[in-house]
Amino acid sequence: MIELDNREALGAEFQTLAQDFLKAAKAKGATAAEIGIDKGTGLSVAVRMGEVDKLQYHRDQGASISVYFGHKKGFASSGDLSPKALTDALEAACNIARFTAEDEYNGLADPELMAREIPELDLYHPWDVDAARAITLAQETEQAARDHDARITNSEGAEVDSYAGLGVYANSNGFSGITSSTRHTVSCAVVGQEGSAMQRDYWYSSHCLPARLEPAAAIGHKAAERTLRRLNGRSLSPRTVPVLYVPELAKGLVGTLVSGISGGALYRKATFLLNSLGQPVFPDFVQLSERPHLPCTLGSRAYDAEGVATFDREIVEDGRIQGYFLGSYSARKLGMRTTASASGASNLILHDTGQDWQGMLDALGTGLMVTELIGSGINMITGDYSRGAAGFWVENGEVQYPVEEITIAGNLKDMFRDIRAIGNDVDLRGRIQSGSVLIGGMTVAGQQAG
């Protein structure tokens, strides 16, 4: 079983280390200080064509520290948690701070924003799996994919990963907190061939609770099905058509929004969503919520990387931006207040407009369903968007044939405003929960007529 030995004792030990560090930092003249201490253990197994390709045990630990001399900041880290190593790291951070220019926006988060009541988020669920069982599970997953169809001719392998971690964060504003969590993943990728055509695809399941992982056979079959449906793809002639993003890619659109309204991009004026607070960026039916306290959910957290209490909030309401993603530094730069986002977003939920998967295909009508994006052709300053893509051509709500070697292009401002529907086929893996998203029109270009 991958778990942390004596988790409660380990947490108490780390809290003592943290408090000793804060006292030492004060003794060296620091006006403020903070420390994060983490330890994790994990197991990673990979098989390919039935044979073990990788077997790794992970045991990681480290500390990250920051000290402040007024508005001067010094940072250091250590992979050694011994008192001497932490003392050396503190000395290094103090030296850096003394010779660093002042920045009036540096400092800890405001004391009144610290998390004082920590909700139980139920994130720690060790998996009763050892190396032998993990290897067998990976083999079962891969074999299910290979047995699915004779056209599955090769494999990139199946993997089983299990991780358990504990972290302590403390600062000189009187905050000290402990978090512990687990994450388990089973994945598979295979290659299919029909004549001269070859394709590969994958599937995976991930959760903090082992019982909520998809069965090995289901993961293997899904990987095989996704591979086979891509065989004998065609390109398309240039055209402007509706585009349907499948859920796992629609989450990327939400991620792009998050990047565009995050503190660093905003204060650097490096975003196409500058001054968007309160502005209509989406159609009025679009709603995006942040729910950081969902139990047994991978993206949940009680506080951010600065100890600030997280809270439910609406990011987009009736199509209008209601909140940014700010840590203390960026909030001060912008003359605003932190949104407890020093660790990024927590459980973003894009609310659906009621359509199931077939309903989304019907809403698409005739156009492109995108299932893979290639490259990172996004200009966050202008919003210009151009990505390599693959997927399926759809007519009258029915999938006609696979499509490959194309690009899709538009501008994110126009794409966001042109969202037509959001499916209830929600992908729950990760910190962003979204169904499929239909955009009314994008430029599609390939090498030949479709």
Domain boundary among 197, 228, 259: 228
Residues 150 and 64 grouped into a single domain:
yes
The answer to whether residue 145 sits within a structural domain is yes
Report pLDDT for 448: 57
Between CA 330 and CA 107 the distance in angstroms is: 11
User: Is the domain of 323 the same as that of 375?
Assistant: yes
Residues 160 and 239 in one domain: no
Same domain, 77 and 169: yes
The last residue of one of the domains, among 186, 204, 228, is 228
What percent of the chain stands above pLDDT 70?
Answer: 99
Same domain, 253 and 117: no
Angle at 44 between CA 43 and CA 49, to 5 degrees: 145
Alpha helices (runs of H) in 277-393, residue ranges in sequence order: 328-333, 357-364
Instruction: Encode pLDDT of 329-388 as tens digits.
Output: 999 999 999 999 999 999 999 999 999 999 999 999 999 999 999 988 999 999 999 999
Q: What is the pLDDT of residue 450?
A: 41
Residues 192 and 309 in one domain: no
Can you tell me the mean pLDDT for 187-213? 96
pLDDT band at 178 (very low <50, low <70, confident <90, very high): very high
Chain segment 261-302, per-residue pLDDT in tens? 999 999 999 999 999 999 999 999 999 999 999 999 999 999
Task: Give dist(CA 248, CA 257) in Å, integer.
Answer: 15
- Answer whether residue 298 is part of any domain: yes
Is a pLDDT exceeding 80 seen at residue 447? no
Tell me if 283 is assigned to some domain. Answer: yes
**358 occurs within a structural domain:** yes
2 assigned to some structural domain: no
Q: Per-residue pLDDT for 21 more than 80?
A: yes
Token pair of 174 as six digits: 């009187």
Measured CA to CA, the distance from residue 377 to residue 391 in angstroms comes to 18
Comparing 446 with 201, the larger pLDDT belongs to 201
Confidence (pLDDT) at 376: 83
228, 260, 295 — which closes off a domain?
A: 228
* Over residues 314-323, mean pLDDT: 98
Q: What percent of the chain clears pLDDT 90, i.e. is strictly above it?
A: 96
Confidence of residue 400 (pLDDT cuts 50, 70, 90): very high
- Mean residue pLDDT of the chain comes to 96
Look at residue 307 in the predicted model and tell me its pLDDT: 97
- The whole-number pLDDT of residue 375 equals 87
Give the global pTM: 0.94
Question: What average pLDDT score do residues 408-419 get?
Answer: 98
Residues 96/106, Cβ–Cβ less than 8 Å: no
pLDDT value for 180: 95
Residues 296 and 437 in one domain: yes
| Same-domain check for residues 62 and 147 | yes
Q: Has residue 257 got a pLDDT over 90?
A: yes
Token output for 258: 């998050």
Asked if residue 1 is part of any domain, the answer here is no
Are 131 and 279 part of one and the same domain?
no
Assess whether 424 and 332 both reside in one domain: yes
> Can you give the CATH number for the domain in which 88 is found?
3.30.2290.10
What is the per-residue pLDDT for 305? 96
- Confirm whether 25 is domain-assigned: yes
Domain co-membership, 23 together with 113: yes
Alpha-carbon span 383 to 400, nearest angstrom? 31
Q: What is the pLDDT of residue 449?
A: 47
For 319, the domain range is: 233-450
Same domain, 11 and 68: yes
Q: Is the C-alpha dihedral spanning 135, 141, 142, 147 positive or negative?
A: positive
- Give the CA-trace dihedral at 245, 250, 252, 254, to 10 degrees: 140
Residue 1 scores a pLDDT above 90: no
User: Chain-centre distance of CA 202, in angstroms?
Assistant: 18
pLDDT at 2: 63
- Count of structural domains within the chain: 2
